[in-house]
A and B are shown apart, each in its own frame.
Chain A
Amino acid sequence: MEVHSRDYRDRARRIITETPEVRESVTAATRTFVDNRREAFADLDEAALSGWAKEVKSHALTHLADYLEEAETRLVERGAHVHWAETASDVHRIFERIVEENAVRKVVKAKSMLSEELALNPFLESCGVEVFETDLGEYIIQLLGEPPSHIVGPSIHKSLEDTRVIFHERLGTARDASPEDLAAAARDFLRETFLTADLGVSGGNFLVAETGSIALIENEGNIRLSTSVPRIHVALVGIEKVLPRWADLSTFLQVTAKSATGQPVGCFVSIIQGPGGSAAGEPDGPEELHVILVDNGRTRVLADPEIWEALRCVRCGACLNICPVYRQTGGHAYGYVYSGPLGGILNPGLVGLEETLPLPFASTACGACADVCPVRIPIPELLHVWRRRAVERGLTGSEERTALGLFASAATRSRLFGWAENLAGVLPDWVIRRLPMLREWSDGREPPRATGPTFRELWDEGIE
């Protein structure tokens, strides 16, 4: 996927001013997620749970090579094809071969954020393959030609009315169709598509090393269908998705669902060990299973001593939901696959700090995200690491550096500091409106009232 993160401020401004309904939709949806999540954790020891989950994922990451090999061995034993891909173009070549060898014309896709990283849809389309997103939210935004706005609820920025309009145009539903009618129309169309597709693509929430199992959580049943009905199933799995033991899986399924939507577990979970059908002596299911283990920047993150913990992420989206910054814009402002606090820590690691620069700064460091992370990623600390590096690499602009340098040197000379404070107090409005930073402030807010004596002056006069 192309990276547009550098335009964060501009994209955010346009969303807020030009499509205010996005802010309303995103805020409402994320607040529901947050409320449900809170309720889901009310009756258990969340700290003990997240502490355990953190340790398991850290253990998996610090033993990652062994576990990947173990998972591969198990999958191959069950007749799966395991591929390794360093980059998006590696993945494209693997797909190209599968598509050619099997004369694939139609692909159904279950939601996969990794496939967004890899720009898989445009690639498959360039091979002459029809690609259909089957998650209802993904389907809506595919019709609209938009990327997902949220890793769990890809269409949370869209209202009922938005869906009515696009379904009316594309599926011929009534202009005032009920949500049920809209869903039924999508179901009918996609049902036919499932039954005629040659290949299904999924992601993978977890890869259990001990059993070589790929676990997928969902609510609609489209993942089960995508991985069961077509003759070929291709699973895209980030190498960081490993869980060591079969016994770890049940808790991770629950902690992810609880954190994401507040459900005890998703309505459907697929735990896939290998191909089905005659290959497995089973009545149906895909004859071929291809598992693509994808790096695409993950080893770079793993090698980073200050950032590697970001790879514990289970993609529950809790940090997005709680983030007051994310809530104002939804995910599109962030200009890359991952948005919100997660985007701020992961995108610079995956695609480079220069390309994603403002994202680590797109946060007030309020810390709410760290409180809800089910694997205790110290998100604000990691954001700070990227901020520090941005400054060290001179990426934040000389203006800011000069201003802060002056501020710091004034701050170590109290008289100069006092003088500067007094100056700030007497600046006329026309000056304020022209100065960088002060100008940005006063576009939407009245400047602070800085009249009257400073405390220092009050103290010197004597406080009664």
Chain B
Amino acid sequence: MAPQSQGTGHPCYAYGGGLSTARRHFEKPAQLGWEHHAARQLPGHCTSLGPMRVSLFVTCLGDRFFANAAADAVRLLRSLDIDVDFPPNQTCCGQPAWNSGHVPEALQMATHTAAVFAKADYVVLPSGSCTAMLRCTYPRLLESPALAERSYELAEFVVDVLGVTELGDGLAGRRIAYHHGCHALREIGVKEQPLRLLESAGATVVPWEMDEECCGFGGLFAVKAPEVSVAMADRKLDTLPDVETVVSADGGCLLQLDGRARRRGKPVRFRPLASLLWEARLGSA
């Protein structure tokens, strides 16, 4: 149950993540005020400081396409005695603009997002790649690590900050495959946390030889090189083991894989991690 993060800041490996080599623009966040947060990681301190407050950043895809999953994230956090709020002015983190080279537009959105969450203790996102945007790109875009060091992907927050590795047993008997979003995996090093939570709830995460390979979404790549993008999704789908559900923390990947699977008439469900985690939790009731 010990949190993995020991108050030394959370990882932003960026590329070269497999080598655990943070590089110049992607240094781990500065230690600014970290002690405060580190103290709050300890369950004992939680009570003495009152309930922990978390601001949900639902993300643009989450708001429109995965509303129920985002609601599940809220339910999950509340069930863990977290006080969740939803700053209503939030929109998009700016990653689509950033990735396609539109830096001023990305800066505009980052500035807006940073202002929206300026007062948040923690920002939790049901999205690995948006978390990577906040953690790895914002510090150099905004020249401030302030938001980066308070931002977590949902499963990462539950495991590393709350120190919770067992949510319940609501997934007993479920066979799922897990798709690791590239940025979650390689930029912020989120890999074990979601698997731990799913497996401890009774799910069997079936090995998938291509679970770490890109699905072909890549933001505008999906429409700039659509034939390659679709071929990449096909490669994922063709190697998929016999499971009912594919889970991922990344909305873009889910839209891509689900869109292609439906076009091909492949009967697999693609579901956001947040919903599965809430189902895991429900089993404990």
Check A-B contact in the complex, CB < 8 A.
yes
The chain A residues found within 8 Å of chain B, CB to CB, are 8-9, 12-13, 16-17, 23, 27, 46-47, 50-51, 324-325, 327-329, 333, 358, 361-373, 376, 378-381, 384, 386-392, 396, 400-401, 404-405, 407-412, 414, 417-418, 421, 424-425, 437-438, 440-441, 443-450, 452-459, 463-464
Residues A388 and B103 in contact in the complex (CB < 8 Å), given A363-B221, A411-B94, A463-B75? yes
Q: Contact check, B101 vs A387: say whether CB atoms are below 8 A apart.
A: yes
Cross-chain pairs A/B with CB under 8 angstroms, 21 sampled: A47-B21, A324-B216, A329-B228, A365-B99, A371-B15, A400-B100, A407-B97, A408-B106, A409-B108, A410-B91, A411-B108, A414-B88, A414-B91, A417-B92, A446-B262, A449-B65, A452-B68, A458-B67, A458-B68, A458-B70, A463-B74
Query: For the complex, is B171 an interface residue (Cβ under 8 Å from A)?
Result: no
Shortest CB–CB separation between residue A179 and chain B, in angstroms? 26
Residues A444 and B227 in contact in the complex (CB < 8 Å), given A367-B182, A376-B16? yes
A327 to B235 CA separation, bound complex (whole angstroms): 10
Q: Contact check, B19 vs A371: say whether CB atoms are below 8 A apart.
A: yes
Q: Contact check, B89 vs A17: say whether CB atoms are below 8 A apart.
A: no
Shortest CB–CB separation between residue A406 and chain B, in angstroms? 10
Query: For the complex, is B119 an interface residue (Cβ under 8 Å from A)?
Result: no
Q: Which residues of B contact A401 (CB under 8 A)?
A: 102
Q: Contact check, A324 vs B213: say whether CB atoms are below 8 A apart.
A: yes
Q: Which residues of A contact B43 (CB under 8 A)?
A: none
Q: Which residues of B contact A384 (CB under 8 A)?
A: 98-99, 101
Shortest CB–CB separation between residue B166 and chain A, in angstroms? 23
Query: For the complex, is B112 an interface residue (Cβ under 8 Å from A)?
Result: yes
Q: Which residues of A contact B89 (CB under 8 A)?
A: 414
Query: For the complex, is B25 an interface residue (Cβ under 8 Å from A)?
Result: yes
Residues A412 and B112 in contact in the complex (CB < 8 Å), given A425-B64, A455-B63, A457-B67? yes
Please list the 5 inter-chain residue pairs (A to B) with the smallest Cβ-Cβ separation, ordered nearest first.
A364-B218, A387-B101, A370-B15, A445-B259, A444-B230
Residues A9 and B225 in contact in the complex (CB < 8 Å), given A371-B16, A417-B91, A421-B64? yes
Residues A23 and B231 in contact in the complex (CB < 8 Å), given A364-B214, A452-B67? yes
> Total A-B residue pairs with C-beta atoms closer than 8 Å?
236
Q: Which of B66, B70, B224, B233: most chain A Cβ within 10 A? A: B224
The chain B residues found within 8 Å of chain A, CB to CB, are 14-21, 23, 25, 58, 60, 62-68, 70-71, 74-75, 86, 88-92, 94, 96-103, 105-106, 108-109, 111-112, 182-183, 186-187, 212-214, 216-233, 235, 255-256, 258-260, 262-263
Q: Contact check, B227 vs A12: say whether CB atoms are below 8 A apart.
A: yes
Q: Contact check, B218 vs A363: say whether CB atoms are below 8 A apart.
A: yes
Extra 7 A-B pairs, beta carbons < 8 Å, given A16-B231, A328-B232, A378-B16: A324-B235, A325-B216, A366-B218, A373-B16, A400-B100, A417-B92, A459-B88
Shortest CB–CB separation between residue A304 and chain B, in angstroms? 16
Q: Which residues of A contact B228 (CB under 8 A)?
A: 12, 16, 325, 328-329, 333, 362
Q: Which residues of B contact A16 (CB under 8 A)?
A: 227-228, 231
Q: Contact check, A387 vs B100: say whether CB atoms are below 8 A apart.
A: yes
Chain B interface secondary structure, helix, strand, loop or mixed?
helix
Q: Which of A47, A378, A404, A455: most chain B Cβ within 10 A? A: A455
A396 to B223 CA separation, bound complex (whole angstroms): 13
Shortest CB–CB separation between residue B99 and chain A, in angstroms? 6
Q: Contact check, B263 vs A408: say whether CB atoms are below 8 A apart.
A: no
Partner of B105, one of A8, A368, A396, A405: A405
Residues A361 and B221 in contact in the complex (CB < 8 Å), given A378-B23, A412-B109? yes
Q: Contact check, A367 vs B108: say whether CB atoms are below 8 A apart.
A: no
Q: Which residues of B contact A396 (CB under 8 A)?
A: 100-101
Shortest CB–CB separation between residue B73 and chain A, in angstroms? 9
A411 to B18 CA separation, bound complex (whole angstroms): 34
Q: Contact check, A447 vs B259: say whether CB atoms are below 8 A apart.
A: yes
Q: Which residues of B contact A9 (CB under 8 A)?
A: 224-225, 227
A134 to B229 CA separation, bound complex (whole angstroms): 36
Q: Contact check, B108 vs A408: say whether CB atoms are below 8 A apart.
A: yes
Q: Which residues of A contact B259 (CB under 8 A)?
A: 441, 445-448
A322 to B105 CA separation, bound complex (whole angstroms): 31
Q: Which residues of B contact A367 (CB under 8 A)?
A: 14-15, 17, 182-183, 186-187
Closest B-chain residue to A31, C-beta based? B209
Q: Which residues of A contact B25 (CB under 8 A)?
A: 381
Q: Which residues of B contact A23 (CB under 8 A)?
A: 231
Shortest CB–CB separation between residue B103 and chain A, in angstroms? 5
Partner of B70, one of A324, A372, A441, A455: A455
Residues A366 and B91 in contact in the complex (CB < 8 Å), given A391-B102, A421-B64? no
Shortest CB–CB separation between residue B141 and chain A, in angstroms? 12
Q: Contact check, A450 vs B65: say whether CB atoms are below 8 A apart.
A: yes
Q: Which residues of B contact A452 (CB under 8 A)?
A: 67-68
Closest A-chain residue to B101, C-beta based? A387
Q: Contact check, B96 vs A454: say whether CB atoms are below 8 A apart.
A: no
A408 to B228 CA separation, bound complex (whole angstroms): 27
Closest B-chain residue to A460, C-beta based? B88
Q: Which residues of A contact B225 (CB under 8 A)?
A: 8-9, 12, 325, 358, 361-362
Partner of A444, one of B18, B92, B182, B226: B226
